[in-house]
Amino acid sequence: MLTLITGANGFIATHCIATLLRAGHSIRGTVRSAEKATATLSALNAAGVPHLETSLDLVVVPDPTDLAQFLPAAAGCDAILHLASAFTYDAEPGQFEERLLRPAIQGTRVACEAAKQCGSVKKLVIMSSFAAVYDAALGLQPGKVYTEEDWSPLGYAEGRDTDNVAVAYRASKVLAERTAWTYIKENDVDFQLVTLCPGMVFGKMIHPISSLKYLNASNGIVWEVAKGGNEIPPTKAPVWVDVQDLAETCLRALTVDLPSHQRFLVTEGPYDTQEIADVVREDIPAASKRVAVGSPGARIRDMHYSCDSGKVKRMLGLRFRDLRESIVPLVEQLYAMEEGERKDGLSAAVL
Ligand code: NDP
């Protein structure tokens, strides 16, 4: 089975590549430059991912929102796993349309169009987000249980005109996902659509990352706690899933026979920053010296909404690992990166 993975150099995408290659699949991955292709290959190699030479082909698609550039990459593929989208809070008001909304929406439309035009594509799996599900404006909503039936009400103008980048990101995800569902309603397609809506994704990284400065947004939440300080930062989006479990979810979404198009909520459960602090202080000696103590054992889960991920577990036969298993290896990796950067800084100062 040949799968096209868009945004192949990203945090989640590289885990999807590793999982699919281990399962014996062939992959074509899109990246936006030749440098990113080289860096991705070398990062996957360093992570011990098998079959890179025989089963992974990285192709440069400078603008994956351009159908003419995307189509040749999709040609002959059995499936598309679409991940490329800007998950960043590094954009200013006035830039949201260009930096977040347009790439997400247009990128999804092009993935749908390419899947239709190719003919060979039987599954299109799109990485949406819990951001496309919940209504942040309603606050914490204790007792509310989100399911696949829920949709964020954010519209285009709200995403474009807000002065809050998190609102713009959430709008980009819901509008992109709606684009896909509208596309299959309005077009006669031969492929099945699966959208995945994960909470915050944590876990050890195998993608190319040259410095902690470039940490992806979700692992940045863990780092904000683990790097230490006088206080534990507030919890922003309190549901999560591990990156390897999400990659396994992608593999099953691509391969399991499903009765129809599907939308899946993908979360292990709630987390909060106090829990991150507790776990890393318990398991990592270096963390116990620098991470704020806060109120050990205190949890905010009864104070906010929760999610029901029963559907994805049932239909795709999954179980998800717990927070400790996910973030301890990540924080060990982050401390090692920090130490490497400190040593590099020292040797640069000596030179
Ligand atoms: P990364 O930032 O690690 O990867 C993002 C990928 O998208 C990169 O390949 C990047 O390419 C590409 N990309 C960024 N901006 C654009 C653009 N304007 N046009 C085309 N491609 C672009 O993010 P993640 O791995 O965390 O996220 C992958 C997907 O999962 C995204 O769709 C994200 O919204 C979704 N998601 C992530 C969650 C998380 O917690 N991490 C939670 C829920 C959903 P380049 O390096 O060239 O910029």
For the chain, the structural domain boundaries read 203-240+268-340
Residue 84 Cβ < 6 Å to ligand 1: yes
Residue 124 Cβ < 6 Å to ligand 1: no
Blockwise average pLDDT, block size 10, the chain, 351 residues: 98 98 98 98 98 98 98 98 94 96 98 97 98 96 98 98 97 98 98 98 97 96 97 95 98 98 98 98 96 97 97 98 98 97 79 56
**pLDDT score at 349:** 64
Token pair for 211: 């410095």
> CA–CA separation, 38 vs 170, rounded Å?
31
**pLDDT score at 37:** 98
**Ligand 1 centroid to residue 216 C-alpha, Å:** 8
What amino acid occupies position 57? Answer: D
Residue 26 Cβ < 6 Å to ligand 1: no
**Ligand 1 centroid to residue 1 C-alpha, Å:** 24
Instruction: Characterise 218 by phi-psi region: left (phi > 0), alpha (psi -120 to 50), beta (else).
Output: alpha
CB 153 within 8 A of CB 170: no
pLDDT digits (tens, 9 = 90+) for 102-116: 999 999 999 999 999
**pLDDT score at 236:** 85
**Ligand 1 centroid to residue 27 C-alpha, Å:** 18
Q: Which residue's alpha carbon is at the smallest distance from atom 1 of ligand 1?
A: 10
Token pair for 143: 């007792």
CB 174 within 8 A of CB 106: no
Token pair for 112: 């749908």
- Among 6, 85, 215, residue to substitute to test ligand 1 (most atoms within 8 Å of Cβ): 85
Go through 39-78 and write b for each residue having 16 or more CB atoms within 10 A of its CB, e for each that does not.
Answer: bbbebbeebebeebeebbebeebeebbebebbeebbeebb
Residue 7 Cβ < 6 Å to ligand 1: yes
**pLDDT score at 345:** 85
**pLDDT score at 350:** 64
pLDDT digits (tens, 9 = 90+) for 117-128: 999 999 999 999
CATH number of this structure's domain 203-240+268-340: 3.90.25
